[in-house]
Protein backbone atom coordinates (compact mmCIF):
# COMPACT_ATOMS: atom_id res chain seq x y z
CA UNK A 1 0.00 0.00 0.00
CA UNK A 2 3.00 2.28 0.51
CA UNK A 3 3.77 2.14 -3.25
CA UNK A 4 0.39 3.27 -4.46
CA UNK A 5 1.44 6.95 -4.39
CA UNK A 6 4.75 6.39 -6.20
CA UNK A 7 5.70 9.32 -8.45
CA UNK A 8 6.73 8.70 -12.07
CA UNK A 9 9.30 11.18 -13.31
CA UNK A 10 8.68 12.41 -16.88
CA UNK A 11 9.96 14.99 -19.27
CA UNK A 12 9.28 18.64 -18.36
CA UNK A 13 6.87 19.32 -21.24
CA UNK A 14 5.02 16.02 -21.15
CA UNK A 15 1.64 15.51 -19.51
CA UNK A 16 1.61 14.54 -15.87
CA UNK A 17 -0.28 11.49 -14.66
CA UNK A 18 -2.49 12.08 -11.67
CA UNK A 19 -1.56 10.02 -8.62
CA UNK A 20 -4.38 7.86 -7.28
CA UNK A 21 -5.42 8.07 -3.63
CA UNK A 22 -5.65 5.00 -1.37
CA UNK A 23 -9.44 5.28 -1.26
CA UNK A 24 -9.81 4.14 -4.84
CA UNK A 25 -11.79 7.28 -5.70
CA UNK A 26 -10.82 9.10 -8.84
CA UNK A 27 -10.47 12.89 -9.02
CA UNK A 28 -11.27 15.08 -11.97
CA UNK A 29 -8.35 17.47 -11.65
CA UNK A 30 -5.11 18.07 -9.80
CA UNK A 31 -6.76 21.15 -8.20
CA UNK A 32 -9.40 19.03 -6.51
CA UNK A 33 -6.82 16.51 -5.32
CA UNK A 34 -4.60 19.22 -3.91
CA UNK A 35 -7.41 20.93 -2.07
CA UNK A 36 -8.56 17.62 -0.59
CA UNK A 37 -5.15 16.74 0.78
CA UNK A 38 -4.43 20.22 2.08
CA UNK A 39 -7.68 20.35 4.00
CA UNK A 40 -6.67 17.23 5.90
CA UNK A 41 -3.01 18.12 6.46
CA UNK A 42 -0.85 21.10 7.24
CA UNK A 43 -1.17 23.93 4.72
CA UNK A 44 2.59 24.08 4.05
CA UNK A 45 2.83 20.53 2.66
CA UNK A 46 2.06 19.83 -0.99
CA UNK A 47 0.30 16.70 -2.22
CA UNK A 48 3.41 15.53 -4.12
CA UNK A 49 5.55 15.77 -0.98
CA UNK A 50 3.02 13.73 0.96
CA UNK A 51 2.98 11.12 -1.78
CA UNK A 52 6.75 10.64 -1.69
CA UNK A 53 7.72 11.02 1.94
CA UNK A 54 4.55 11.23 4.01
CA UNK A 55 4.56 9.85 7.51
CA UNK A 56 3.80 6.22 8.15
CA UNK A 57 0.63 7.16 9.93
CA UNK A 58 -0.56 9.19 6.94
CA UNK A 59 0.20 6.40 4.45
CA UNK A 60 -1.45 3.64 6.47
CA UNK A 61 -4.49 5.56 7.65
CA UNK A 62 -7.92 4.06 7.05
CA UNK A 63 -9.69 4.92 3.77
CA UNK A 64 -10.94 8.46 3.72
CA UNK A 65 -14.65 8.95 4.19
CA UNK A 66 -16.57 11.85 2.81
CA UNK A 67 -17.51 14.19 5.64
CA UNK A 68 -20.37 16.64 5.65
CA UNK A 69 -18.94 20.11 6.11
CA UNK A 70 -19.82 21.82 9.39
CA UNK A 71 -20.73 25.46 9.00
CA UNK A 72 -20.72 27.72 12.02
CA UNK A 73 -23.97 29.54 12.75
CA UNK A 74 -21.93 32.72 13.16
CA UNK A 75 -21.06 32.86 9.46
CA UNK A 76 -23.19 34.15 6.62
CA UNK A 77 -23.43 30.63 5.21
CA UNK A 78 -24.55 29.37 8.58
CA UNK A 79 -27.42 31.85 8.62
CA UNK A 80 -28.68 30.59 5.28
CA UNK A 81 -28.31 26.97 6.37
CA UNK A 82 -30.08 27.54 9.65
CA UNK A 83 -32.93 29.33 7.94
CA UNK A 84 -34.02 26.22 6.02
CA UNK A 85 -36.05 25.05 9.01
CA UNK A 86 -37.81 28.08 10.31
CA UNK A 87 -41.19 29.47 11.16
CA UNK A 88 -42.11 33.01 10.16
CA UNK A 89 -38.55 34.05 9.52
CA UNK A 90 -36.58 32.53 12.40
CA UNK A 91 -35.74 29.12 13.77
CA UNK A 92 -37.97 27.83 16.55
CA UNK A 93 -37.68 24.12 17.29
CA UNK A 94 -34.80 22.83 19.36
CA UNK A 95 -31.89 24.67 20.90
CA UNK A 96 -29.23 26.03 18.53
CA UNK A 97 -25.71 24.70 18.83
CA UNK A 98 -24.33 27.83 20.48
CA UNK A 99 -27.52 28.66 22.43
CA UNK A 100 -28.08 31.60 20.11
CA UNK A 101 -30.32 32.09 17.13
CA UNK A 102 -29.97 34.41 14.21
CA UNK A 103 -33.09 36.55 14.18
CA UNK A 104 -32.47 37.48 10.58
CA UNK A 105 -34.36 36.44 7.49
CA UNK A 106 -32.11 37.45 4.63
CA UNK A 107 -34.97 37.49 2.16
CA UNK A 108 -36.73 40.16 4.21
CA UNK A 109 -36.16 43.41 2.37
CA UNK A 110 -37.17 45.61 5.28
CA UNK A 111 -33.75 45.48 6.82
CA UNK A 112 -30.15 45.57 5.69
CA UNK A 113 -29.38 42.06 4.37
CA UNK A 114 -26.04 41.86 6.18
CA UNK A 115 -27.22 43.09 9.58
CA UNK A 116 -27.29 40.41 12.25
CA UNK A 117 -28.78 40.47 15.71
CA UNK A 118 -28.14 37.57 18.04
CA UNK A 119 -30.71 36.54 20.61
CA UNK A 120 -29.79 34.50 23.64
CA UNK A 121 -31.71 31.27 24.11
CA UNK A 122 -32.74 31.08 27.77
CA UNK A 123 -33.80 27.89 29.48
CA UNK A 124 -37.01 27.93 31.49
CA UNK A 125 -35.37 26.81 34.73
CA UNK A 126 -32.94 29.76 34.66
CA UNK A 127 -35.72 32.31 34.19
CA UNK A 128 -37.80 30.64 36.87
CA UNK A 129 -34.91 30.93 39.32
CA UNK A 130 -34.15 34.50 38.24
CA UNK A 131 -37.70 35.58 39.16
CA UNK A 132 -38.00 33.51 42.37
CA UNK A 133 -40.43 31.12 40.68
CA UNK A 134 -42.25 34.01 39.03
CA UNK A 135 -43.15 35.45 42.39
CA UNK A 136 -45.82 38.13 42.68
CA UNK A 137 -43.16 40.34 44.26
CA UNK A 138 -41.30 40.28 40.96
CA UNK A 139 -44.42 41.09 38.90
CA UNK A 140 -43.96 44.54 37.36
CA UNK A 141 -46.61 44.63 34.64
CA UNK A 142 -49.58 42.95 33.01
CA UNK A 143 -51.08 43.23 29.56
CA UNK A 144 -52.92 41.45 26.79
CA UNK A 145 -49.81 39.47 25.92
CA UNK A 146 -49.16 38.20 29.43
CA UNK A 147 -47.37 39.08 32.64
CA UNK A 148 -44.01 40.83 32.96
CA UNK A 149 -41.54 39.95 35.72
CA UNK A 150 -38.29 41.46 36.87
CA UNK A 151 -35.33 39.12 37.28
CA UNK A 152 -31.55 38.99 37.51
CA UNK A 153 -29.23 36.86 35.40
CA UNK A 154 -25.48 36.42 35.61
CA UNK A 155 -23.27 38.65 33.47
CA UNK A 156 -20.93 35.75 32.72
CA UNK A 157 -23.56 33.12 31.98
CA UNK A 158 -27.04 34.37 31.19
CA UNK A 159 -28.49 30.91 31.77
CA UNK A 160 -27.62 31.28 35.45
CA UNK A 161 -29.67 33.34 37.86
CA UNK A 162 -28.02 36.01 39.97
CA UNK A 163 -28.79 37.60 43.30
CA UNK A 164 -30.79 40.84 43.24
CA UNK A 165 -28.70 43.88 42.38
CA UNK A 166 -25.67 41.69 41.58
CA UNK A 167 -26.44 40.50 38.07
CA UNK A 168 -28.04 41.97 34.97
CA UNK A 169 -31.58 43.20 35.57
CA UNK A 170 -34.00 41.98 32.90
CA UNK A 171 -37.72 42.17 32.20
CA UNK A 172 -39.27 38.81 31.35
CA UNK A 173 -42.54 38.81 29.45
CA UNK A 174 -44.40 35.51 29.80
CA UNK A 175 -46.97 34.57 27.18
CA UNK A 176 -50.29 33.29 28.45
CA UNK A 177 -50.80 29.66 27.52
CA UNK A 178 -54.37 30.09 26.30
CA UNK A 179 -55.25 31.15 22.76
CA UNK A 180 -53.28 31.30 19.52
CA UNK A 181 -53.26 35.07 19.02
CA UNK A 182 -50.69 35.50 21.77
CA UNK A 183 -48.32 33.05 20.12
CA UNK A 184 -48.61 34.90 16.81
CA UNK A 185 -47.74 38.16 18.56
CA UNK A 186 -44.84 36.44 20.34
CA UNK A 187 -43.44 35.32 17.01
CA UNK A 188 -44.10 38.68 15.38
CA UNK A 189 -42.40 40.61 18.17
CA UNK A 190 -39.30 38.45 18.05
CA UNK A 191 -39.21 38.69 14.26
CA UNK A 192 -39.15 42.49 14.28
CA UNK A 193 -37.24 43.27 17.45
CA UNK A 194 -34.40 40.89 16.61
CA UNK A 195 -33.62 43.15 13.65
CA UNK A 196 -33.93 46.53 15.33
CA UNK A 197 -31.05 48.29 17.01
CA UNK A 198 -31.89 51.85 17.99
CA UNK A 199 -31.23 53.77 21.23
CA UNK A 200 -34.93 54.61 21.52
CA UNK A 201 -36.21 51.06 21.01
CA UNK A 202 -36.15 48.59 23.90
CA UNK A 203 -33.47 45.95 23.40
CA UNK A 204 -34.66 42.36 23.13
CA UNK A 205 -31.98 40.23 24.81
CA UNK A 206 -33.34 36.76 24.18
CA UNK A 207 -36.22 34.32 24.31
CA UNK A 208 -37.37 31.05 25.82
CA UNK A 209 -39.22 28.42 23.80
CA UNK A 210 -39.27 25.30 25.91
CA UNK A 211 -42.25 22.99 25.80
CA UNK A 212 -45.37 25.07 26.32
CA UNK A 213 -43.44 28.03 27.71
CA UNK A 214 -43.00 31.15 25.57
CA UNK A 215 -41.07 34.11 26.97
CA UNK A 216 -39.23 37.19 25.79
CA UNK A 217 -36.39 38.77 27.77
CA UNK A 218 -35.74 42.53 27.51
CA UNK A 219 -33.47 45.08 29.07
CA UNK A 220 -35.00 46.37 32.29
CA UNK A 221 -36.33 49.95 32.28
CA UNK A 222 -36.13 51.29 35.81
CA UNK A 223 -38.64 54.17 35.52
CA UNK A 224 -41.42 52.00 34.15
CA UNK A 225 -43.85 53.18 31.52
CA UNK A 226 -44.72 56.72 30.49
CA UNK A 227 -48.32 56.01 31.49
CA UNK A 228 -47.25 55.17 35.05
CA UNK A 229 -45.25 58.38 35.34
CA UNK A 230 -48.02 60.58 33.93
CA UNK A 231 -50.77 59.15 36.12
CA UNK A 232 -48.76 59.11 39.35
CA UNK A 233 -50.72 60.88 42.07
CA UNK A 234 -47.61 62.01 43.91
CA UNK A 235 -45.53 64.95 42.77
CA UNK A 236 -44.53 64.02 39.21
CA UNK A 237 -40.93 63.50 38.14
CA UNK A 238 -41.79 64.63 34.64
CA UNK A 239 -41.21 68.35 34.47
CA UNK A 240 -41.58 70.25 31.19
CA UNK A 241 -38.05 69.61 29.91
CA UNK A 242 -38.30 65.89 30.62
CA UNK A 243 -41.62 65.68 28.82
CA UNK A 244 -40.06 67.25 25.74
CA UNK A 245 -37.15 64.82 26.04
CA UNK A 246 -39.53 61.85 26.15
CA UNK A 247 -41.45 63.14 23.13
CA UNK A 248 -38.24 63.54 21.11
CA UNK A 249 -37.01 60.04 21.98
CA UNK A 250 -40.31 58.47 20.98
CA UNK A 251 -40.41 60.49 17.76
CA UNK A 252 -36.91 59.32 16.85
CA UNK A 253 -37.92 55.69 17.35
CA UNK A 254 -40.90 56.04 15.00
CA UNK A 255 -38.85 58.01 12.50
CA UNK A 256 -36.33 55.18 12.31
CA UNK A 257 -39.11 52.64 11.72
CA UNK A 258 -40.80 54.69 9.02
CA UNK A 259 -37.59 55.35 7.10
CA UNK A 260 -36.23 51.82 6.75
CA UNK A 261 -35.83 50.12 3.38
CA UNK A 262 -39.32 48.77 3.85
CA UNK A 263 -41.17 50.91 6.43
CA UNK A 264 -42.44 49.37 9.65
CA UNK A 265 -45.77 50.41 11.16
CA UNK A 266 -45.99 49.86 14.92
CA UNK A 267 -49.83 49.90 15.11
CA UNK A 268 -49.94 49.83 18.93
CA UNK A 269 -48.33 53.08 19.99
CA UNK A 270 -49.56 54.19 23.43
CA UNK A 271 -48.19 55.57 26.67
CA UNK A 272 -47.97 52.15 28.32
CA UNK A 273 -45.69 50.94 25.51
CA UNK A 274 -43.23 53.80 26.03
CA UNK A 275 -40.68 52.85 28.68
CA UNK A 276 -38.24 55.10 30.53
CA UNK A 277 -34.75 54.44 31.87
CA UNK A 278 -32.92 56.12 34.77
CA UNK A 279 -32.27 59.25 32.73
CA UNK A 280 -35.84 59.44 31.38
CA UNK A 281 -34.79 58.36 27.91
CA UNK A 282 -37.86 57.04 26.12
CA UNK A 283 -37.77 53.63 24.45
CA UNK A 284 -40.53 52.12 22.33
CA UNK A 285 -41.59 48.55 23.13
CA UNK A 286 -44.19 45.90 22.25
CA UNK A 287 -43.99 45.06 18.54
CA UNK A 288 -46.56 42.28 18.68
CA UNK A 289 -48.88 44.07 16.22
CA UNK A 290 -46.17 45.60 14.03
CA UNK A 291 -46.17 44.97 10.31
CA UNK A 292 -44.40 46.12 7.19
CA UNK A 293 -45.73 49.29 5.64
CA UNK A 294 -46.45 50.19 2.02
CA UNK A 295 -43.77 49.80 -0.62
CA UNK A 296 -43.21 51.48 -3.96
CA UNK A 297 -46.29 53.34 -5.18
CA UNK A 298 -48.50 51.99 -2.41
CA UNK A 299 -49.89 54.51 0.04
CA UNK A 300 -51.14 51.93 2.53
CA UNK A 301 -51.98 48.30 3.21
CA UNK A 302 -55.19 46.54 4.17
CA UNK A 303 -55.20 44.66 7.44
CA UNK A 304 -57.32 43.66 10.39
CA UNK A 305 -58.17 46.52 12.72
CA UNK A 306 -55.97 45.99 15.75
CA UNK A 307 -54.81 48.39 18.41
CA UNK A 308 -55.99 50.12 21.57
CA UNK A 309 -59.13 52.20 21.92
CA UNK A 310 -58.39 55.89 22.00
CA UNK A 311 -55.17 55.61 19.99
CA UNK A 312 -56.45 54.24 16.68
CA UNK A 313 -56.70 56.65 13.75
CA UNK A 314 -60.30 57.21 12.56
CA UNK A 315 -59.58 56.26 8.93
CA UNK A 316 -58.07 52.97 10.10
CA UNK A 317 -61.22 52.15 12.05
CA UNK A 318 -63.43 53.02 9.09
CA UNK A 319 -61.56 51.29 6.27
CA UNK A 320 -58.93 48.96 7.71
CA UNK A 321 -56.41 50.91 5.63
CA UNK A 322 -53.20 51.38 7.61
CA UNK A 323 -50.44 53.81 6.62
CA UNK A 324 -47.44 55.47 8.22
CA UNK A 325 -49.76 58.33 9.15
CA UNK A 326 -51.70 55.87 11.31
CA UNK A 327 -48.72 55.83 13.66
CA UNK A 328 -48.52 59.63 13.47
CA UNK A 329 -52.08 59.90 14.77
CA UNK A 330 -51.30 57.57 17.68
CA UNK A 331 -48.19 59.63 18.38
CA UNK A 332 -50.37 62.74 18.55
CA UNK A 333 -52.52 61.07 21.20
CA UNK A 334 -49.40 60.27 23.25
CA UNK A 335 -48.25 63.89 22.91
CA UNK A 336 -51.63 65.00 24.23
CA UNK A 337 -51.22 62.67 27.21
CA UNK A 338 -47.76 64.16 27.84
CA UNK A 339 -49.20 67.68 27.77
CA UNK A 340 -52.30 66.99 29.86
CA UNK A 341 -51.18 64.22 32.21
CA UNK A 342 -54.42 62.38 31.40
CA UNK A 343 -55.06 58.98 29.86
CA UNK A 344 -56.47 58.71 26.33
CA UNK A 345 -59.71 57.05 27.41
CA UNK A 346 -61.04 56.98 30.93
CA UNK A 347 -64.06 54.97 32.02
CA UNK A 348 -66.04 56.15 35.03
CA UNK A 349 -68.20 54.24 37.47
CA UNK A 350 -71.41 55.81 36.12
CA UNK A 351 -70.88 54.17 32.70
CA UNK A 352 -69.52 57.25 30.98
CA UNK A 353 -66.21 57.40 29.18
CA UNK A 354 -64.12 60.38 28.27
CA UNK A 355 -62.21 60.59 25.00
CA UNK A 356 -59.25 62.87 25.57
CA UNK A 357 -58.73 63.87 21.94
CA UNK A 358 -62.30 65.03 21.40
CA UNK A 359 -62.45 66.87 24.69
CA UNK A 360 -59.11 68.66 24.25
CA UNK A 361 -59.53 69.54 20.56
CA UNK A 362 -61.30 72.91 21.03
CA UNK A 363 -58.81 74.02 23.70
CA UNK A 364 -55.67 73.10 21.75
CA UNK A 365 -56.42 75.67 19.07
CA UNK A 366 -57.32 78.44 21.52
CA UNK A 367 -54.36 80.12 23.19
CA UNK A 368 -56.52 81.62 25.93
CA UNK A 369 -58.11 78.29 26.78
CA UNK A 370 -55.02 76.10 26.46
CA UNK A 371 -54.42 76.17 30.22
CA UNK A 372 -57.44 73.86 30.63
CA UNK A 373 -55.48 71.09 28.89
CA UNK A 374 -52.02 71.53 30.38
CA UNK A 375 -51.22 69.26 33.32
CA UNK A 376 -52.03 71.25 36.46
CA UNK A 377 -49.11 69.63 38.30
CA UNK A 378 -46.76 71.68 36.12
CA UNK A 379 -48.16 74.88 37.60
CA UNK A 380 -46.57 77.68 35.61
CA UNK A 381 -43.22 75.96 35.30
CA UNK A 382 -43.25 75.81 31.53
CA UNK A 383 -42.60 78.28 28.69
CA UNK A 384 -45.93 79.56 27.40
CA UNK A 385 -44.93 80.00 23.76
CA UNK A 386 -43.37 76.55 23.57
CA UNK A 387 -46.50 75.03 25.10
CA UNK A 388 -48.60 76.68 22.39
CA UNK A 389 -46.32 75.30 19.66
CA UNK A 390 -46.52 71.89 21.31
CA UNK A 391 -50.32 72.08 21.19
CA UNK A 392 -50.25 73.11 17.52
CA UNK A 393 -48.09 70.09 16.70
CA UNK A 394 -50.59 67.85 18.48
CA UNK A 395 -53.43 69.24 16.37
CA UNK A 396 -51.50 68.56 13.18
CA UNK A 397 -50.77 64.98 14.20
CA UNK A 398 -54.45 64.43 15.03
CA UNK A 399 -55.69 65.85 11.74
CA UNK A 400 -58.69 64.05 10.25
CA UNK A 401 -56.99 63.93 6.84
CA UNK A 402 -54.01 61.55 7.02
CA UNK A 403 -52.21 63.40 4.23
CA UNK A 404 -52.25 66.62 6.26
CA UNK A 405 -50.41 65.02 9.17
CA UNK A 406 -46.66 65.66 9.34
CA UNK A 407 -44.08 62.94 8.80
CA UNK A 408 -42.12 61.75 11.80
CA UNK A 409 -39.00 63.37 10.36
CA UNK A 410 -40.78 66.73 10.47
CA UNK A 411 -42.02 66.01 13.98
CA UNK A 412 -38.49 65.28 15.23
CA UNK A 413 -37.23 68.57 13.78
CA UNK A 414 -40.04 70.61 15.39
CA UNK A 415 -39.59 68.99 18.78
CA UNK A 416 -35.85 69.64 18.71
CA UNK A 417 -36.57 73.32 18.04
CA UNK A 418 -38.89 73.34 21.03
CA UNK A 419 -36.21 71.74 23.19
CA UNK A 420 -33.65 74.37 22.19
CA UNK A 421 -36.07 77.21 22.84
CA UNK A 422 -37.04 75.70 26.19
CA UNK A 423 -33.41 75.50 27.32
CA UNK A 424 -32.75 79.15 26.41
CA UNK A 425 -35.93 80.62 27.87
CA UNK A 426 -35.95 78.34 30.91
CA UNK A 427 -32.61 79.57 32.24
CA UNK A 428 -33.66 83.23 32.13
CA UNK A 429 -36.97 82.71 33.92
CA UNK A 430 -36.12 79.84 36.27
CA UNK A 431 -35.84 82.08 39.34
CA UNK A 432 -39.36 83.43 38.77
CA UNK A 433 -40.92 80.08 37.92
CA UNK A 434 -39.56 78.30 40.96
CA UNK A 435 -41.39 80.70 43.27
CA UNK A 436 -44.79 79.96 41.74
CA UNK A 437 -47.07 77.71 43.77
CA UNK A 438 -48.05 74.43 42.07
CA UNK A 439 -51.80 73.79 42.44
CA UNK A 440 -53.19 70.54 43.78
CA UNK A 441 -53.38 67.82 41.15
CA UNK A 442 -56.71 66.71 39.77
CA UNK A 443 -56.57 63.62 37.51
CA UNK A 444 -58.49 65.25 34.64
CA UNK A 445 -60.42 68.51 34.22
CA UNK A 446 -64.19 68.15 34.81
CA UNK A 447 -65.30 68.54 31.15
CA UNK A 448 -63.26 65.47 30.25
CA UNK A 449 -65.81 63.22 31.95
CA UNK A 450 -68.99 64.25 30.14
CA UNK A 451 -67.96 63.73 26.54
CA UNK A 452 -68.97 60.37 25.25
CA UNK A 453 -70.91 57.31 26.38
CA UNK A 454 -68.72 54.29 26.76
CA UNK A 455 -67.78 52.74 23.43
CA UNK A 456 -67.90 49.00 23.05
Residue of 114, 118, 86, 113 whose CA lies nearest to 102:
118
Distances (CA, A) of 251 to 40, 255, 371, 438: 56, 6, 24, 29
Per-range mean pLDDT, top range of 5-9, 141-145, 294-298, 362-366: 362-366
Per-residue pLDDT tens digits for 97-148: 333 334 433 333 333 333 346 889 999 999 999 999 999 999 999 877 789 9
Distances (CA, A) of 132 to 113, 164, 247: 40, 10, 36
How far is the C-alpha of 37 from the C-alpha of 42, rounded, in Å? 9
Q: Which alpha helices (H) appear in 83-238, and where do they start and end?
A: 124-130, 181-193, 226-230
Confidence bin at 169 (pLDDT 50/70/90): very high
Domains of the chain: 1-67 (no CATH), 76-219 (3.30.200.20), 226-453 (1.10.510.10)
Q: Are the C-beta atoms of 195 and 111 separated by less than 8 Å? A: yes
Count, in order, helices (H) and strands (E) of the chain. Answer: 13, 16
Confidence bin at 452 (pLDDT 50/70/90): very low
Whole-model pTM above 0.85?
A: no
Q: Average pLDDT of the chain?
A: 76
Q: Are the C-beta atoms of 142 and 126 separated by less than 8 Å? A: no
**Interacting residues of 358 by C-beta distance below 8 A, sequence separation 6+:** 451, 452
**Residues in the annotated binding site for ATP:** 173
* Dihedral, 46, 50, 52, 58 alpha carbons, nearest 10: 180
Confidence (pLDDT) at 401: 95
Active-site amino acid positions: 268
**Residues in the annotated binding site:** 173
Instruction: Name beta bridge partners: 172.
Output: 149, 217
Q: Are the C-beta atoms of 408 and 258 separated by less than 8 Å? A: yes
Per-residue pLDDT tens digits for 330-347: 999 999 999 999 999 887
Amino acid sequence: MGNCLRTNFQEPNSSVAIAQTPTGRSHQSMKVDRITVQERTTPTLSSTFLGESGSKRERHRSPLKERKPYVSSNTDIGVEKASTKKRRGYRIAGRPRSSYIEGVNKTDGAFHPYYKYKLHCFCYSALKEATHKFSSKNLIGQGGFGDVYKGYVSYCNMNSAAKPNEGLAVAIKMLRKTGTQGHEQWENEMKFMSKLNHPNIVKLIGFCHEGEHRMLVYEYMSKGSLETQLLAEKQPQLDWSRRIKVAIGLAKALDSLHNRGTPVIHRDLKASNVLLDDDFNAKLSDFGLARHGPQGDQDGVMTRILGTKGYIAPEYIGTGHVTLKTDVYSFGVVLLEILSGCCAVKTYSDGMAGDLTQWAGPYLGNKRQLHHVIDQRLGRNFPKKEAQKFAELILRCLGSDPKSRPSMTEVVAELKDLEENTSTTGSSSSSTQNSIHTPTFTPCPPPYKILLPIRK
